[in-house]
A and B are shown apart, each in its own frame.
Chain A
């Protein structure tokens, strides 16, 4: 290439000189004109402190604060700034820690980085913090940072509210929308976890100037580089905290669950899983100590039986069996079946629970909870026409109707780890029975036994359909996210409509009312409230049967649906039914009349658990 453009050399020369001049001017401004730089050079150091946001608080449906924050202080150390002559003995005295702790932590901090702030001591109380602040000038390199931990004033709802803890590396990666730093708190379970993006708020930054003695000299550049922390959003829960406390008391020394839902909205009023524990145990410093203990406990207090416990619904299933059969025209409301005391399955017999007069309609059958009647009803539903394969085809239709009631389906409430329960479909039965199965093969589904398994939440939700005469909403624990004083966001709730004639609902509800008035659920009766419900005995191959009751009240315009299961407590009428009636009464009347206090106390003191009391209870109250 011949060099024909010698003049173009100037372009690069110009480029270099241009930037040289720009840089000179900029340096002149920065180093000579800018007044701030002198101030900066006098202040020895500028520190960036994290300003932790206030986590959102949780209120109950009556605006009672049920989860709040308590301020504590972390002591932070930057090893490179520690004075060689620091009085470490005094520091340990002020903070109330053994002197060996000091050298141990400083060594640890040094190993990570001399220049990086390191948490010296976590969650110091206000008293110790004050002492520390008074003589903080003696502790160069140390400073205090406000943190807040959770407080649960009512000591209840541990598994609903969940807990917070320091974020771990997998969670840092899991949340793409927010940059967590190690040391940040994050919701680990329950509502804390589900609503983490709303509750956490946003970290702020405070840039301060510190002098040679580590005394704060004020904000840097008038707070120009500060970032205010944004508090998390408060949540309004649908829980009625008094009902929740009452439920937990009733379930004391028993294993099982109670779920109470407002049928018109799907709002969960109470959700008890027993055995439970004091949620304050998992708050702050004690979390590290108690979490493993609770995890190891044989009674599984960390297991939310209300949404994870799978139980056969037992006879409570019969009202749904009846509704589906009616809608499928498999029976009519006056379907009559003469109970001989058993239902023949080939050569075997499925026994009825007790001797009783023939059932001439749905109402009587429900009142008597007649097993053969519902076996026949179920059989009719999956044998609409009598051709050879009809069972398998009709079963699938029946199965899909069941799904509409929320059986074998996650209800997607606002808690994670919900179980979906179990109900096999035709494909499953075809596979295990190699297509050789008849209605009698699966007949025990008709009485809520066999393969069908439901969570207490599903039981309650399916009865919401009955209480509402044809629909239910996604059950949920949080009904409002309070964005600001006058603005809020609503959670996403779906309405599921079930197309069954209203008249069918009415006849089933009449039956459910009779159950409580004269039938198996008499122990659920309340003098001035018309309770409708159904007992159930959930067969348990490992021991005593579970006591189940699902009910709602008042009959017209139901306000509350309650499902209760008490493990190993025998028949539904014995324990679950009175608990449900007390829950209903407590919710509707706010107070239990004194005439019924005897029942309350007898249930509270009833001990029904295969675990020794000390095993379920010793760790459950915080020792102060």
Chain B
């Protein structure tokens, strides 16, 4: 009893509170997005908002449980969870139904279970477990191999289900690896390639190469007296050629894509395309103006316009009903929430908790940037939920567990000391 009280006082309420603020805002937004005048009760379980309420109750129970059990339950058995989730990913490939081209859900009748959401959790746990070992450093090749395998095995399996969005999220673990010692060039060249990929959507490969050439020419000119000039020159030429080749291949791959995928990309690059979702999303957000139309008063994001209004495009409802003010406040809340986890992670004494904390921020940050970037027409349409906000039981529960486990670890920092 005393311990519980002590425990309660040690909870990081800033983190805990911002998480629950997001969950509640999410629920209210789902209610507004899916509002049906013939079922006005927010607890009506025949509607997505009523179902979300049930999931929220489940999350409360999970909170109580997780906050009261030793976090070793997660850390010690992390490899077992990892193996279980790998197996369920394999299983889902064989038994799942095809939903919009993705085989990612196991249907339990009342609800659908999406193993890829839990794969993120178990991969975070397993990676943290592996990397927290004091003997593991990135001076050894073995570390790279094991860490990459831990990431790419579930990622490959998710990709095999044609669930591109969830697969991309696994790349976020590279932030984690980098933070704890992975060679910097891997992350930077990854980001560079991503950057070139996005540029390739807007510009022709030769334009990108020419642009790079100008930058490098200036850089070379300034280093013209350097002893290393020859090496710099070689390096520059190689990088221009590689960039050009990469950009050309991106263009080629896009031209070989399915029509609907190419459309999505073209819409984003302003090339005319024909993606209904993005267009409607921009209209909804844009029509919110400065202060929005008011809660439940959105017209564009309701009803027939946006098919994924309660899931992937949930951000539109906020944009339309609360305007610029609302979206900025929401972004601030979300950024605060992520920064708070980083802050707390840095304060952890246990290596495991620190790495794990960093892992979950990486996941959140990736979801944040892809989902909102897509809603704002900055990135191609990739189906990926906005944490705590998008409708979807598995995703809500998985994110809640993900963060609550960290909060519990944070408490243990005091208990153990």
Interface readout for B254-295 with A: 1 if CB under 8 Å, 0 if not? 000001000000000000001010010011011111100100
| Chain B interface size range | 35 or more
Given A37-B287, A41-B287: A11 and B179 interface contact (C-beta under 8 Å): yes
Are A16 and B303 touching (Cβ within 8 A)?
Answer: no
Tell whether B368 is near chain A: CB-to-CB under 8 Å.
yes
Contacts of A225 in B (CB 8 A): 274, 279
Tell whether B207 is near chain A: CB-to-CB under 8 Å.
no
Tell whether B339 is near chain A: CB-to-CB under 8 Å.
yes
Among B279, B304, B351, contact of A78 (Cβ-Cβ < 8 Å): B304
Among A43-51, A119-127, A508-516, which stretch is in contact with chain B? A43-51
Are A26 and B376 touching (Cβ within 8 A)?
Answer: yes
Given A2-B137, A20-B335, A22-B378: A32 and B290 interface contact (C-beta under 8 Å): yes
Are A26 and B342 touching (Cβ within 8 A)?
Answer: no
Complex Cα–Cα for A115 and B351 (A): 53
Are B354 and A19 touching (Cβ within 8 A)?
Answer: no
Tell whether B365 is near chain A: CB-to-CB under 8 Å.
yes
**Min distance, Cβ A411 to any Cβ of chain B, angstroms:** 36
Chain A: interface residue total (CB-CB under 8 A): 43
Among B179, B276, B283, B305, contact of A5 (Cβ-Cβ < 8 Å): B179
Are B178 and A16 touching (Cβ within 8 A)?
Answer: no
Are B179 and A45 touching (Cβ within 8 A)?
Answer: no
**Min distance, Cβ B309 to any Cβ of chain A, angstroms:** 11
Contacts of A78 in B (CB 8 A): 304
Are A24 and B328 touching (Cβ within 8 A)?
Answer: yes
Given A24-B328, A225-B279: A11 and B274 interface contact (C-beta under 8 Å): no
Q: Is the interface of B mostly helix, strand, loop or mixed?
A: helix
Contacts of A13 in B (CB 8 A): 339, 342
Are B288 and A31 touching (Cβ within 8 A)?
Answer: yes
Are A5 and B180 touching (Cβ within 8 A)?
Answer: yes
**Min distance, Cβ B125 to any Cβ of chain A, angstroms:** 16
Given A31-B327, A40-B286: A9 and B378 interface contact (C-beta under 8 Å): no
Tell whether A434 is near chain B: CB-to-CB under 8 Å.
no
Are B289 and A23 touching (Cβ within 8 A)?
Answer: no
Among B289, B323, B362, contact of A12 (Cβ-Cβ < 8 Å): B362
**Min distance, Cβ A74 to any Cβ of chain B, angstroms:** 18
Are B132 and A80 touching (Cβ within 8 A)?
Answer: no
Among A19, A31, A44, A45, contact of B323 (Cβ-Cβ < 8 Å): A31
Contacts of A4 in B (CB 8 A): 181
Tell whether A101 is near chain B: CB-to-CB under 8 Å.
no
Are A11 and B178 touching (Cβ within 8 A)?
Answer: yes
Tell whether B218 is near chain A: CB-to-CB under 8 Å.
no
Tell whether A591 is near chain B: CB-to-CB under 8 Å.
no
Are B303 and A15 touching (Cβ within 8 A)?
Answer: no
Are A9 and B179 touching (Cβ within 8 A)?
Answer: yes
Q: Is the interface of A mostly helix, strand, loop or mixed?
A: helix
Residue among A20, A28, A32, A225 with max Cβ neighbours from chain B (10 Å) = A20
Tell whether A34 is near chain B: CB-to-CB under 8 Å.
yes
Contacts of B136 in A (CB 8 A): 1
Contacts of A46 in B (CB 8 A): 283, 305
**Min distance, Cβ B199 to any Cβ of chain A, angstroms:** 15
Complex Cα–Cα for A22 and B335 (A): 13
Are A3 and B354 touching (Cβ within 8 A)?
Answer: yes
Complex Cα–Cα for A9 and B338 (A): 13
Residue among B259, B286, B355, B358 with max Cβ neighbours from chain A (10 Å) = B286
Tell whether A600 is near chain B: CB-to-CB under 8 Å.
no
Tell whether B382 is near chain A: CB-to-CB under 8 Å.
no
Are A23 and B331 touching (Cβ within 8 A)?
Answer: yes
Among A1, A9, A116, contact of B181 (Cβ-Cβ < 8 Å): A1
Tell whether A357 is near chain B: CB-to-CB under 8 Å.
no
Complex Cα–Cα for A496 and B378 (A): 60
Given A3-B180, A32-B324: A11 and B279 interface contact (C-beta under 8 Å): no
Contacts of B180 in A (CB 8 A): 1, 3, 5, 8
Tell whether A36 is near chain B: CB-to-CB under 8 Å.
yes
Tell whether A494 is near chain B: CB-to-CB under 8 Å.
no
Tell whether A205 is near chain B: CB-to-CB under 8 Å.
yes
Are B361 and A12 touching (Cβ within 8 A)?
Answer: yes
Are B286 and A31 touching (Cβ within 8 A)?
Answer: yes
Contacts of B376 in A (CB 8 A): 23, 26-27, 30
Complex Cα–Cα for A6 and B368 (A): 24
Residue among B276, B283, B346 with max Cβ neighbours from chain A (10 Å) = B283
Contacts of A606 in B (CB 8 A): none
Are B287 and A27 touching (Cβ within 8 A)?
Answer: no
Tell whether B403 is near chain A: CB-to-CB under 8 Å.
no
Tell whether A38 is near chain B: CB-to-CB under 8 Å.
yes
Contacts of B372 in A (CB 8 A): 19, 23
Among A17, A19, A38, A116, contact of B304 (Cβ-Cβ < 8 Å): A116
Tell whether B157 is near chain A: CB-to-CB under 8 Å.
no
A13, closest chain B residue (CB):
B342
Tell whether A227 is near chain B: CB-to-CB under 8 Å.
yes
Complex Cα–Cα for A40 and B283 (A): 7
Given A1-B351, A5-B180, A12-B361: A27 and B335 interface contact (C-beta under 8 Å): no
**Min distance, Cβ B111 to any Cβ of chain A, angstroms:** 22
Contacts of A45 in B (CB 8 A): 299
Complex Cα–Cα for A17 and B369 (A): 10
A-B contact pairs, 28 of them (CB 8 A): A1-B131, A1-B180, A1-B351, A2-B134, A5-B179, A8-B180, A9-B179, A9-B342, A9-B346, A12-B358, A12-B365, A19-B368, A19-B373, A20-B331, A22-B378, A23-B372, A26-B376, A30-B285, A31-B290, A31-B327, A32-B324, A37-B286, A40-B286, A41-B289, A45-B299, A46-B305, A115-B303, A205-B274
A residues sitting closer than 8 Å to B (CB atoms) are 1-6, 8-9, 11-13, 15-17, 19-20, 22-24, 26-28, 30-32, 34, 36-38, 40-41, 44-46, 48, 78, 80, 115-116, 179, 205, 225, 227
Given contacts A9-B342, A19-B372, 16 further A-B contacts (CB under 8 A): A5-B179, A11-B175, A15-B175, A20-B331, A22-B378, A23-B372, A26-B378, A27-B376, A31-B290, A37-B289, A41-B293, A45-B299, A78-B304, A115-B304, A179-B259, A225-B274
**Ordered nearest first, which 8 A-B pairs have the shortest CB separation?**
A37-B286, A115-B304, A41-B287, A31-B324, A30-B286, A19-B369, A26-B376, A8-B179
